[in-house]
Structure 1
Amino acid sequence: MTDKTSRVAIVTGASRGIGAAVAERLAGDGFTVVINYSASAGPAEALVREIEAKGGRALAAKTDVSDADAMRGMFDTAERAFGGVDVLVNNAGIMKLAKIADSDDALFDQQIAVNLKGSFNGMREAARRLRDGGRIVNFSTSVVGTKLETYSVYAATKAAVETMTAILSKELRGRNITVNAVAPGPVTTELFLNGKSPELVERMAKMNPMERLGTPEDIASVVAFLVGPDGGWINGQVLRANGGMV
């Protein structure tokens, strides 16, 4: 990869939750960070100021990841501002839960657009434009393995991302670019907690032998490993960061 002081990472969906924790961790590790957001600029710009106050470099970029032209434009912005891109963390995603019989077309189409097409748009652009020696980290979910009820469409989008992860890792042969996926278990984010009763949250926390929910920082540490020097021999893999949940 390029010199540590000039490495540039794009993190999608980085204004809050896991994405914000990843952006903050990578900035602390010396990366210049492009903080992607889709709606409100406030949290993203606040995170930029926080990173800059600690001596790091960052910028906020509003982008609809499901729009290929917008994804291309975000890479353009990063290249103009910082000279190139070394890392893409495909974190942006939405989760809408329902049994298959109760799922409407909007629930299906929105998750396909953001979780699957958004990840594809990022992978395609990164495959064309990352500097040699770079890293791509996609986001899946441990529900691909646990197959919990009501998660079918969400998990299906992530299973597709896992398949593309493995294939892209082979397609980038010769460029020293690794492509991996992180598949978190339940994590204390708004995305996970929204709409769940305290009893359900407690029950899901007990599903792993660590008997707790993950934190955004737990997942950020996994991403930091994959994009850092110690993760260079990990390629085409799905890392299930879930405390041992089966």
Structure 2
Amino acid sequence: MPDTVKPHRPIIITGASRGIGAATARLAAERGYSVCVNYLRSRAEAEAVVDEIESLGGAAFAFRADTSVEAEVRDLFDATAGRFGGIEALVNSAGIMGGPTRLDGLSAQEMVRLFEINVFGCILCCREAVRRMSTGNGGKGGSIVNVSSVAATNGSSGERVHYAASKGAVNSFSVGLSREVAREGIRVNLLSPGLTRTALNPPERLARLEGTVPIGRVAEPAEIARGILWLLSAEADYCVGANVVMSGGR
């Protein structure tokens, strides 16, 4: 693939080497986006996503960046802008769950790392996107979707209250940011999945909890990706600060 490609709806998807992020990267490419597949450790998986996109005629590249590190976030956005000519959209999908354990079994180190990635990483990426997208900063506008979780409202008691708290923070931040930049051409929204078949959810957990889902099954990453792409699309151009819940009724 050449070093540069013709700009065509450039998008950054964090945590895109697997799960919801990877499914979103594939669907975004299918719908005409040029995709930066961000990853932290899973280089081979990220490159496999890129290979799949390119094999179907799409444009993509993989870029390693820890989204909780300011300098690496800046490099991520610089690399994407240099490759594709700008940034039109951002999906913050990178995250960890921690646990499972009760609060009294958590270490401070685990709590700090979880908030670094789930909360500060999301905020840092949004800040860099706003700096580039905002019409007030000379940008052309854009769209941001932050991937949250129904845990933010149900609390995930008994196994991951710290994860639920981190997603609650993402929700509050996203609503505030959406109002801050709405008149600068940027739409910020949330997508909150329920139980989804990803590496973050071990098979035994899915089997244990699947019966609690009213629709009777867990979600597949591709289903969640469709919700994310809808929020990015023109069909959702009046959605600002919305939280689309895709939980099968759970």
Instruction: Give distance in 2, aligned partners of 1:82 and 1:121.
Output: 21
Q: Does 1:132 align with 2:171?
A: no
Which residue in the other structure is 1:214 paired with? 219
Q: Distance in 2 between matches of 1:46 and 1:147?
A: 35
Q: CA deviation at 1:107?
A: 1.4
Q: Does 1:173 align with 2:173?
A: no
* Structure 2 length-normalised TM: 0.92
Give the one of 199, 206, 218 matched to 1:201. Answer: 206
| Residues 59-74 of structure 1: pairs in structure 2 closer than 5 A | 59-74=61-76
- The residue matched to 2:113 in structure 1 has which SS? helix
Aligned residue among 86, 89, 106 for 1:87: 89
2:160 aligned to 129, 151, 158, which one? 151
Query: May I ask how many residue pairs the two structures share in their alignment?
Result: 237
CA distance in 2, matches of 1:22, 1:47: 10
Q: CA deviation at 1:23?
A: 0.2
The equivalent residue for 2:46 is 44
Q: CA RMSD of the aligned region, Å?
A: 1.2
Q: Distance in 2 between matches of 1:139 and 1:201?
A: 20
Of 106, 115, 119, 2:122 maps to 119
1:232 to 2:237 alignment: yes
Q: Which stretches of structure 1, 4 residues or more, deviate above 6 A after TM superposition?
A: none
Gaps of 5+ in 2: 1-6, 134-138
Sequence identity of aligned pairs in percent? 35
1:113 positional shift: 0.8
Q: Which runs of 5+ in 1 are unaligned?
A: none
SS in 2 for 1:182: strand
Q: Using the alignment, how far apart are the partners of 2:177 and 2:140 within structure 1?
A: 14
Cα distance in structure 1, aligned partners of 2:39 and 2:84: 19
How big is each residue's C-alpha offset from its partner over 1:56-91, in whole Å with a ceiling of 9 and x where there is no partner?
A: 000100000000110011100011111100101000
1:127 is displaced (CA, Å) by 1.1
Deviation at 1:176, TM superposition (A): 2.3
Q: Which moved more, 1:232-241 or 1:142-151?
A: 142-151
What is the TM-score normalised by the length of structure 1?
Answer: 0.93
